[in-house]
Structure 1
Amino acid sequence: MAGRGRPKVPLVLTEDERVTLVRWSRRAKSSQALAVRCRIVLGCAEDEGLRSNKDVAAQLGIWPQTVTKWRGRFLERRLDGLVDEQRPGAPRKISDERIEDVVVKTLESTPGNATHWSRASMAEQSGLSKSTVGRVWKAFGLKPHLVDTFKLSNDPQFIDKVRDVVGLYLDPPEKALVLAVDEKSQIQALDRSAPVLPMMPGMPERRTHDYVRHGITTLFAALDVATGTVIGSIHRRHRAIEFKKFLTKLDHEIPADLDIHLICDNYGTHKHPSVRQWLTAHPRFHMHFTPTYSSWLNQVERWFGLLTDQKIRRGAHRSIQALEKDIRSWIDQWNSDPKPFIWTKTADEILERLASYLQRIPGAGH
């Protein structure tokens, strides 16, 4: 007995179409919607292209109407019919030339009455709306309101010092300990002028903007670049005599059969005659100085940043003793599960990056 309903138009695939549909349906990065449409067409092509839409829908777990739609699209336009059509809407009114003008002005000029462009000033200059200027800036990653700072080293031995310090990070000497050493001075014991209001649902922690000072202290720290452990020493003053005491502590705590390589900055305390005399009497200590204005090269600075973020900045201390106790406690917790910083850049990569950066700064090479 003949089946009821309208007769189906056979859906027959060429070999190239079948290969393409299979590939589109299996690609991990393909649109999931496109992959489903490909599987619909492949299912409809079975049984000499006469398989019912209900059978295909049941196999794929989708509505029969969906199979009907994409079967018809494919029969009408073949592979092109499976791709989403461009959505209707008003044509773009802003030309490429006007967008380019906004980008060029943002990058190469400043308004006459300000140091940088705002959305309002650029809108007035370009004749576009403020929201349009904002969308253009977002599309091209432009943020005129932001500024970052940098400082170029003027150290005549910059290249040699970079290679020396980076060499210690990437290829440390045998039977030796490499320590990144510095002082965090002027750590203030600050207490808020009123109690802190705790965080609540829908409301952040609140604290007064003013505070009471209870004095300052200094932390001397040595970061073992291999293990991440830290040896710390706290002193109320920041002089060569305190630095020598810290060196003496390192000498006592580190096994005598190991050489000690210290990475330091160029602060005067580290080069004081009394310190040089102490180093001469302790030949297993070797000093390696970072270039001037290059604190980023000393890994202990990164550790100081963690200490500041996690303990000091939002802390409240009613005395120097309370502050120092918190610092010692934080160091102990860090050393219970130390995490070394992994240095990845070679000296050549750093120098090449710096050379590329200097090329973008007018007059930097002179």
Structure 2
Amino acid sequence: MTEIAVKMKETVGTMPPEEKLGFGTYFTDHMFTMDYNPQEGWHNPTVAPYNEFSVFPAAMVFHYGQAIFEGMKAFRTEDDRIVIFRTKDYLERFNRSADALCIPNIDVAVVTEGLKKVVEVDKKWVPTKVGTALYIRPFIIATDPYVGVKVSDTYKLFILLSPVGAYYAAGFDPVSIKVEDKYVRATLGGLGEAKTPANYAMSLRAQEEAKKEGFAQVLWLDAVERKYIEEVGTMNIFFKINGEIVTPDLVGSILGGMTRRTVLELAKAWGIKTSERRISVEEIFAAHEKGQLEEVFGTGTAAVISPVGELSWKGKRIVINHNKTGEFAQKLFDTVTGIQYGKLEDKFNWIDEVTKL
């Protein structure tokens, strides 16, 4: 067991009404922090009040973008336990992102302990309604005060907690997505498979243009041939074609989502054929024309399962499943959230219990 210092906030806040939570707007009373330097490694694990912090204007994160983050969730179950979904898997991916950005790896066991401690301290902020959760945002920034391109020697890790509702305003209703054929997000050999701010900064221009056209998100194509589907701005993407579940394979430019992994594991357990491969936008539109495209849905920590009701590409629009949530997407959503909220048995050992109230 690692000794974690706990500094309690003197005046605690109040969570807003759960129906007004939205996503990413409110933050709990405390956060978890750790520091890194070459002499001590990762050290000083602390639960501290959520507050501003000091950093030099020359900190390398501002100038050269050396930073990574993760997104996880904790849930309040029907029998009043607080649990976290796939803790180890998310933190191991955090380390893979660290490798890509030349950031020292964390000790997953130590950070798990710190994460559980801060969630326990702020357990009153875990909402109760189905569809709500406590969003968990670990991130690391480079803190060397140096203006020059090099790998930083010092870093700071934070874990923030935020009570949230649905990610999309439409909730579980199907969303409309634009296939992006002008801009690109990531290339092979780049940072596409890492959760780093640069990837999301790259998506903003296309996302803003798509929103003005009435779309919820953009679907990215590969950067070389501009024909192979990669991922949505905040989600991985799946297609149900003639009963088979197809999703782009992880070639190095796509984030290996934990919900993506969860869906593939569930489909395998249910005996449903799945395929991870290159799939072109032409193939999707042709499958629709032949009546073979049964469902399209996105997967991600924030939205869990997000049915897609419409795809638009080069001015052509197709409506999937009469713009209604598909049977398979609904089953996935019910199963994943059922496990998360303790309604269904966790046969896959995905749930980590923090505390029983």
Q: Could you say whether these structures have the same fold, taking a TM-score greater than 0.5 normalized by the shorter chain as the test?
A: no
> Which TM-score band (shorter chain)?
under 0.3
Larger CA Rg, structure 1 vs 2: 1
**Higher share in helix:** 1
The one of the two structures with greater contact order (alpha-carbon pairs below 8 A, sep at least 6) is: 2
**Higher share in strand:** 2
Query: TM-score, normalising length from structure 1?
Result: 0.21
